[in-house]
Copies of this chain bind each other. A is one copy, B any other.
Amino acid sequence: MRDAQQIIDTAHEMADAARAAILPLFRNAALVTDNKRPADFDPVTEADRAAEIAMREVLARRRPQDGIVGEEFGSTPGDSGLTWILDPIDGTRAFLCGSPSWGVLIGLSDGQAIRYGIIDQPYTRERFEGGLGRARLIGPDGERPLIARSGVALPAAILMTTFPEIGSTQEAQAFRRVVDSVRLTRYGLDCYAYALLALGQIDLVIEAGLQAYDIAGPMAVVEAAGGIVSNWQGGPATEGGQVIAAASADLHRQALRLLNG
């Protein structure tokens, strides 16, 4: 891709700006009880908006020609053929609880596919990036490559999802068939689950009811690590909805069969 390095630099500057906007609002009880603020002051909403504004400012300065789709402020058209897909805080409930499994999601689409993405966890200072030749975790302990693990059979696999009450009744039944076939199922990690899959720690993430901005960044990271992301029918997951991420093609095929069984 043309300008790949400048695109990557821009994405990191956006993630830095989002971190700076969000962290003062995370685990800040004083803000909620501050009398000078309105009674309905909500630090998560505040942080969500501040972070998207901060990322849009970076784009306006560095790449005004690109389009933007943001969770908070909708669509801004561009004319470069590239669109940034932003979820300033994925996992607002985790944020509310003080649990560091929420993340800032950045994805870059060229209209055909997601070409690059970031999952950033500001509190743990972990940044997972994938695409344009990169697949790495940059964290407080330095860098390490992201490599999804292979060779794990379904009965030995670890599955993650955000809510045990996943989707509709039919979706919950399909999901339950996978739960009953794997070694371990864990809940509640939001976008951090995709990061753990890219790190080679877990094998499957299955969710329903996602938005496009929930999956763009994670998809780039997982695919760059060698994993597979699709919808439950095996087609593109770029629009969100029912999403499955698998560490290997074998697991992906087996889990799809169960979801559609």
- CB within 8 Å of B: which residues of A? 27, 29, 93-94, 96-101, 123-125, 140, 147, 149, 158, 160, 164, 184, 186-189, 192, 196, 199-202
Contacts of A101 in B (CB 8 A): 99
Cβ contact within 8 Å between A99 and B199: no
Specify how many copies of this chain sit in the oligomer: 2
Known contacts A140-B140, A187-B164, A188-B186; is A201 also within 8 Å of B149 by CB? no
17 A-B pairs within 8 Å (CB atoms) are namely: A29-B147, A29-B201, A93-B184, A93-B186, A97-B184, A98-B196, A98-B199, A98-B202, A99-B101, A99-B192, A99-B201, A100-B124, A124-B124, A125-B140, A186-B188, A187-B187, A187-B188
Give the residue of B97, B158, B164, B192 whose beta carbon is less than 8 angstroms from that of A164: B164
Cβ contact within 8 Å between A186 and B100: no
Q: What separation, in Å, do the CA atoms of A220 and B9 have in the docked complex?
A: 46
Cβ contact within 8 Å between A97 and B188: no
Give the residue of B27, B123, B188 whose beta carbon is less than 8 angstroms from that of A199: B27
Q: What separation, in Å, do the CA atoms of A29 and B188 have in the docked complex?
A: 23
Contacts of A123 in B (CB 8 A): 124
Cβ contact within 8 Å between B196 and A94: no
Give the residue of B100, B125, B149, B160 whose beta carbon is less than 8 angstroms from that of A29: B149
Contacts of A99 in B (CB 8 A): 101, 186, 189, 192, 196, 201
